[in-house]
Amino acid sequence: MAKTARPASEAGPRPGHELSNDRLLAMYRVMAFARAIDERCLSLQRQGRIGFYVPASGQEAAQIGCAAALTDDDWLFPAYRELGLALWRGVTFRTLMDQFLGTSADRLKGRQMPNHYGYRERNLVVASSPIGTQITHAVGAAMAMQRRRAPQVSATFFGDGATSSNDFHAGMNFAGVYRTPTIFFCQNNQWAISLPRERQTRSATLAQKAEAYGFPGVVVDGTDIHAVFDAVATARERAVAGEGPTLIEAQVYRFGPHSTSDDPHRYRSDADLAEWKRRDPILRLREELQNSGTLTETGESELQDAIRREISETIAAAEGAPPIDPATLFDDTFAQRTPRLEEERAEFERLVREGVIRP
């Protein structure tokens, strides 16, 4: 059945896709940073210091392996669980904390829940909550790249659940028809909240869904950063050569809850989790780096210390930012406030003056 879904790197990476130890160490640093941010933010949420959080633990190799195989000019269309992408693209933790807190320092002006961010200058498009909607956007952007003859690709990120969405179907189909330079990067973390992968769809793999749209789909071990990098680099080469899109299914496991609103014990066993944790992508890469002598015990503990320090300092600084100016609510619905919005803004200001609203 899964004809088109061949393992990406049975025989090691394709020529030119090997990762040097330095490169791997850089990737490892970002992965470790991502993991530490996740852990701290889950506890910030429990303490009520941020309102919500979506952890990405378990998916670091997939995200960072993928991001590293792209150029900074490539446009990324993420969902809400893509911490690794943001960090690899150079978004600082401070910028993210500002978003999580929704203060006046937030580039998104406090408009969205934590984890739903995006930064134009990083070519990281702002995420939304509805599942799958970013997929067609990525295809449209790729059509625009074709029109502009730009040597870029678009990459879109989504989960196993999102393969059931309308936009997956439409986006894959348009990409096939117009042979767009698009990478469909599906992180199959085995769960869509409580629904296990095998009840999301009857197909043996998610990658084989590409068959329906006339382009290749590949399965890759998403805990193996080499395999991910190789698959994405290959897909990117095809895309820029005008050979069209690729669907990549990176098989991973969501280590944490779906979000801080979720209790995974209601629907899944610890046994599965333990099984997958033995393939923790961070442990795998650390072991490799230690074996090659690239990372020493000291190096590792210095790294962890530095990360811990940076996180603590950043949180403290971000928490000091002043709250957002409430009158900004009336901006950005349109480029210019309409008369109606001017009137509502004036109404709001009058209510503040009268003491009715105490923002």
Partner 1 sequence: MTEMTLVQAVNRGLFEAMRQDPDVLVLGEDVGVDGGVFRATDGLINAYGAERVIDTPLSETGIVGTAIGMALYGLKPVAEIQFLDFIYPAFDQIVSELAKFRFRSGGQYPCHVVIRAPYGGGIKGGVYHSQSTEAYFCHTAGLKVVIPSTPADAKGLLLTAIHDEDPVMFFEPKRIYRTATGEVPDGDHRVPFGQARTVREGEHVSIFAYGAMVPLASEAAAALARDGISAEIIDLRTLVPLDEAAAIASVEKTGRAVVVHEAARFCGFGAELSAILAEKAFYSLKSPVLRVTGYDTPFPYALENVYLPSAARIEAAARTVVREG
Ligand X SMILES: Cc1ncc(C[n+]2csc(CCOP(=O)(O)OP(=O)(O)O)c2C)c(N)n1
Catalytic residues: 254, 258, 267
Among 126, 240, 273, 321, binds partner 1 (CB under 8 A): 126
Report the residue number, 28 or 77, with the smaller CB distance to partner 1. Answer: 77
Q: Where are the beta strands (DSSP E) in the chain?
A: 75-77, 154-159, 182-188, 191-192, 195-196, 217-221, 246-251
Minimum CB distance to ligand X smaller for 181 or for 281? 281
Select the span of 8-16, 56-64, 65-73, 133-141 touching partner 1 (CB under 8 A): 133-141
The CA distance from 174 to 118, in Å, is 24
Site residues for partner 1, 292-331, by CB under 8 A, read 323-324, 326, 328-331
Say how far residue 294 (Cα) sits from the centre of its chain.
27
Q: How far is the CB of 207 from partner 1 (least distance, A)?
A: 17
DSSP H helices in 47-110: 60-68, 83-88, 93-101
CA separation (Å) from 199 to 164, 188, 194, 248? 11, 13, 10, 20
Is 168 a residue that touches its own copies (CB under 8 A)? yes
Our CA dihedral for 141, 146, 150, 154, rounded to 10 degrees, sits at: 40
SS3 219: strand
353 forms part of the interface with partner 1 (CB under 8 A): no
* Half-sphere exposure for 341 (CA within 13 Å, toward CB): 12
In this chain, which of 6, 14, 94, 107 binds partner 1, going by CB under 8 A?
107
Alpha helices by DSSP H, 188-296:
197-200, 225-240, 270-277, 281-291
User: In the bound complex, which residue of the shown chain has the CB atom lying closest to ligand X?
Assistant: 159
Residue 121 Cα distances to 37, 41, 74, 146, 157, angstroms: 23, 25, 11, 21, 19
Residue 179 one-letter amino acid? R
Does 151 bind partner 1 (CB under 8 A)? Our answer is: no
Q: Which range of residues in 61-69, 138-146, 204-212, 304-312 is near partner 1 by CB under 8 A?
A: 138-146
Q: Which stretch binds its own copies (CB under 8 A): 11-19, 171-179, 274-282, 321-329?
A: 171-179
Closest to ligand X by CB, 159 or 181: 159
Q: Among residues 12 and 51, whose Cβ is nearest to partner 1?
A: 51
Residues in contact with its own copies, shown as a per-residue x/- string from 175 to 194 under the rule CB under 8 A? -xx-x---------------
Return residues touching its own copies (CB under 8 A). Answer: 1, 3, 164, 166, 168-170, 173, 176-177, 179, 199-204, 208-209, 211-215
